[in-house]
Amino acid sequence: MKKIWSINGLKWLKAAKGSVLKGLAAAVAGFVLYSCGTAPPDKILEGQSAIIFVRENSIDDNRSNAMRSNRDEFYSGSDLMLLSPISPSGEVTNLTQQYTRAGLDNERDFGAVADPEISLDGTKVLFSMKPTRQSLWHLYEMNIDGTDLVQLTDQTFGNDMDPTYLPNGQIMFASTRPGIVDEYERRHSPLLHCADRGPDGRLINIRQVSFNQSHETNPIVHSSGKVIFSRWEHLGSPNKFPLFVMNPDGTKLFVMYGNHSPRASGSRVFLEPRELSDGGLICSVMERNSPFEGGALAIIDISKSDESLEWITPDTSPFNNNNNESKAIFKTPYPIIDHNAPVENREKILFAMSPLPVNMDDVEERVDYGIYIMDKDGNNVRLIHNDPNYNDIDPVVVAPREDKPGGLPQVIPMAPEVEAGLANNTPTGMFFDGNVYDRAPNDGQMRPNKDHPNADGSVGQVKHLRVLEAVGMPHANNQRGGPIGNTNQEKQRVVGYAPVRSDGSFSVEVPANKSLHMQTLDENGMMLVNQRTWVQVMPGEKRLCTGCHDSHDRDKIIEDLEIQANDLVMNKATGITFESGFHNAVNVEDDPSVLKTDTLSFFNRRKPNKVATIQNIFDNRCVACHNIASPAGGLILENTAADLAIEDDETTVYDELTGANYINAENNSVDYVTDRGARESPLMWVMYNRQLDGNTDEYRATPGYDHTQIWEKDEFGRIDPFLPGNYDLLRMIEWIDAGTQYSNTIGPR
């Protein structure tokens, strides 16, 4: 049955355009009257002591969207408020104005607070604050009544935010202190850190535990002891905020939910997860460009795949980039137990809501968040508090964790191998994958054929693994370090290669504490599947994976994998021991074919003689035939004088290769190189003198020259790019498979 939303008798009715403003004014007046306590008392959650929430000074200037973080959302004069008891008639106390206004007269210079979290015993509140406009965001802790403030961090670079308590006494938080610049908007990225408590309560032994190129936010500790958080994914074409999960020590990090759902959304954003009594989650769901950082609220069954959303707010939100009219927007849900309610209906949801329409004609859009409560199924919505001069958001319940949904979290001890790795400064960790042919059917990429015959007589389309590492961007002036070209990929370098065994397994030793991703390759060293998530290993960690990567449901199978004596890996359920155990892991950093520290660059105008560029390969191998004076096949691979004189544009050669200048067998113009990879790029078809994408030569135009004679052959008569004489070919393959970037200059121009 479809819910009819009603708040204190006000239903979400679609008003005619001419009466929208009048209805809006009446609704706002009703909410203001009710929040001032002049309406009949409402014994909401009688017996529950209090909530703490953020009174954000953004009512007249809310510029937030889902991609922002505290650092970008500073609103002078935002404070933590205590409401006790939890009722419209409860007393409201400002807990932090003594700290955000101390010695300040100009309101623009006032400080701000955010991200409250209640201690596990219910006696303290942990939060982020900048005492003045000019301050950095630091972490603080104080008593519930606002006394005994302790500053926990005092870093001189970066901003600390989004703290949460771990059950072992540590604190986890997000921080921009690593100086990583996100690969999309070129802003400093908040990444997760873990810290011990010193004798005075301040944080010591601070260690980064997540490695990514984009923002991470909203970490919580699940009752299982695992940390769940939101992560901005922008490795290639995806642009979304799924939920990730990891152990508190940084091990076993992987995507948990939201990679493919909701399917109507092109830029899914899952924020502010909180645990429910059954172990599932409630979170806010929106678009990355949703107005006022608002959207819908949804319940997630985390034991299921990306199709288990249960919406509990009106279906006009989230926006899905279609500008639907919406009567309200929602954020910051927080489950709470109402001990006075019937047993079957005790779990409620606190949340922030702005009951003002958005994306409606003839309405000046604004926002006015207040604190509300509803049943877990989305019914029985009631107002708790709304100050019309502020946005009231992020409510947290003042109670011990054991009295909240999920109860006290388990303690997950640090993995012994990681503890040893940290103590010994071990520079690497290991990945094991059970079967690369276990592939998700819904990520838009191919599913390699395990029965594919290869030229050397082996069977199995996946022959190699390529490991790549993110290369940080310069922060100066938000510059990418030169024109980036026609690509969705990010700066990266090839770390190395490893074989994939005949049973589809592999094990590799890779750099620890780095943002990494992997590509499976065919016999020609060309990408079959591109991992679109940055992954990591902790020092000494031995990570077990089951596939590359099937549905979330089957991740339970990973518990069947067990590391045996001599570092063999066995599936306990089947009794199968994999060929590729940790005992024979390949250290990809030892690969002789890799450029080691360099990035994949087409050309560098500031260093036109730089060796490690694709243009340099063309200069040495190709311009004798493909020059300006006599371009073979009409293809010019030589720079012009004008190319070298213009600093900020891509060269003519790059434009030729990435523009539709290859005439295929059907007389259609297509790109010489495509971001779909080397095996689908005609430039490589020319080099191999055959079509490489698994189809017949129906699209390949026959060149007048056999380019295969340029390259060395192995004993099977095959062009092997890993032969030392073919490293130039390997560089071209790597460049295309990494996204055909124009420039990877490191540092500001």
- Which string of DSSP letters, residue by residue, matches 697-730? TTSPPPPSS-GGGGS-B-TTS-B-TTSGGGHHHH
Cα 718 from chain centre: 40
Nearest 5°: the CA angle 378, 382, 383 is 130
Phi, psi (rounded to 5 degrees) for 233: -100, 120
CA nearest 294: which of 266, 274, 275, 313? 313
Is pLDDT at 28 greater than 60 in this prediction?
no
Q: What is the pLDDT of residue 18?
A: 33
Share of the chain above pLDDT 70, in %: 83
Split at pLDDT 50, 70, 90, the class of 17 is very low
Distance CA 611, CA 94 (A): 62
Is pLDDT at 388 greater than 50 in this prediction?
yes
Return the DSSP state at 501: P
Q: What is the pLDDT of residue 306?
A: 64
Q: Where are the domains of the chain?
A: 6-403, 420-590, 614-737
Element at 520 (helix H, strand E): strand 516-521
Radius of gyration of the chain (CA): 28
Distance CA 7, CA 281 (A): 24
Split at pLDDT 50, 70, 90, the class of 343 is confident
- For residues 440 and 344, the model is more confident at 344
Distance CA 413, CA 434 (A): 25
- For residues 164 and 558, the model is more confident at 164
Phi-psi category of residue 716: left, alpha or beta, with phi > 0 → left and psi -120 to 50 → alpha: alpha
Round the average pLDDT of the chain to a whole number and report it.
Answer: 85
Distance CA 657, CA 670 (A): 10
Q: What is the pLDDT of residue 549?
A: 54
Is pLDDT at 592 greater than 70 in this prediction?
yes
Question: In sequence order, what are the beta bridge partners of 468?
Answer: 494, 517
Q: Which of 148-152, 183-187, 206-210, 390-394 has the lowest mean pLDDT?
A: 183-187
Q: What is the pLDDT of residue 665?
A: 92
Distance CA 173, CA 221 (A): 11
Q: What is the pLDDT of residue 446?
A: 85
Predicted TM-score of the model (pTM): 0.90
Distance CA 573, CA 356 (A): 55
* Residues near 495 by beta carbon (within 8 Å), at least 6 away in sequence: 467, 468, 469, 510, 511, 516, 588, 589, 591, 594
- For residues 30 and 593, the model is more confident at 593
Q: At what angle do helices 727-737 and 614-621 cross, to 10 degrees?
A: 140
Q: What is the pLDDT of residues 478-519, one digit of tens each?
A: 444 445 665 666 778 899 999 999 999 999 999 999 999 999
Q: Which of 40-49, 65-74, 132-141, 488-497 has the lowest mean pLDDT?
A: 40-49
Phi, psi (rounded to 5 degrees) for 465: -120, 135
Q: What is the pLDDT of residue 741?
A: 83
- For residues 182 and 366, the model is more confident at 366
Cα 593 from chain centre: 31
* Residues near 42 by beta carbon (within 8 Å), at least 6 away in sequence: 87, 88, 89, 382
- For residues 352 and 546, the model is more confident at 352
Q: What is the pLDDT of residues 659-707, one digit of tens each?
A: 889 999 999 999 999 988 999 999 999 999 999 998 889 999 988 899 9
Split at pLDDT 50, 70, 90, the class of 40 is very low
Q: What is the pLDDT of residues 599-642, one digit of tens each?
A: 778 887 777 777 778 999 999 999 999 999 999 989 999 999 88
Q: What is the pLDDT of residue 187?
A: 79
Mean pLDDT of the 161-181 span: 95
Residue 353 tokens read as 């809501």
CA nearest 386: which of 373, 374, 368? 368
Mean pLDDT of the 468-475 span: 77
Return the DSSP state at 86: S
Residue 300 tokens read as 């997630």
Q: What is the pLDDT of residue 711?
A: 97
Distance CA 92, CA 83 (A): 5
Distance CA 543, CA 582 (A): 10
Cβ atoms 483, 743 nearer than 8 A:
yes
Cβ atoms 602, 508 nearer than 8 A:
no
Distance CA 104, CA 291 (A): 32
Neighbours of 154 (CB within 10 A): 11
Residue 590 tokens read as 């030892």
- For residues 62 and 417, the model is more confident at 417
CA nearest 66: which of 200, 233, 209, 180? 233
Coil, helix or strand for 556?
Answer: helix
Neighbours of 711 (CB within 10 A): 18
Q: Which of 168-182, 256-270, 680-694 has the lowest mean pLDDT?
A: 256-270
* Residues near 93 by beta carbon (within 8 Å), at least 6 away in sequence: 81, 82, 84, 145, 146
Q: What is the pLDDT of residue 265?
A: 64
* Strands (DSSP E) found in 308-450: 309-311, 329-337, 347-354, 370-375, 382-385, 391-397, 428-433
Is pLDDT at 562 greater than 50 in this prediction?
yes
Q: What is the pLDDT of residue 510?
A: 97
Question: In sequence order, what are the beta bridge partners of 56?
Answer: 391
The string of DSSP codes covering 36-68 is TT-SPP--TTTT---EEEEEES-TT-----TT-
Is pLDDT at 360 greater than 80 in this prediction?
no
* Residues near 343 by beta carbon (within 8 Å), at least 6 away in sequence: none
Phi-psi category of residue 686: left, alpha or beta, with phi > 0 → left and psi -120 to 50 → alpha: alpha
Q: Which range has the top average pLDDT, 179-183, 285-289, 565-569, 644-648?
A: 565-569
* Residues near 29 by beta carbon (within 8 Å), at least 6 away in sequence: none
Q: What is the pLDDT of residues 295-340, one digit of tens each?
A: 899 999 887 766 678 999 987 766 555 566 778 889 999 999 988 8
Match 């002036």 to its residue by tokens.
477
Q: CATH number of the domain at 6-403, please?
A: 2.120.10.30
Mean pLDDT of the 718-737 span: 95
Is pLDDT at 37 greater than 60 in this prediction?
no
Element at 505 (helix H, strand E): none
Assess whether the previous peptide bond of 724 is cis (omega < 30° from 0): no
Coil, helix or strand for 478?
Answer: helix
Q: Which of 15-24, 354-363, 518-527 has the lowest mean pLDDT?
A: 15-24
Q: What is the pLDDT of residue 126?
A: 98
Is pLDDT at 475 greater than 50 in this prediction?
yes
Distance CA 599, CA 76 (A): 42
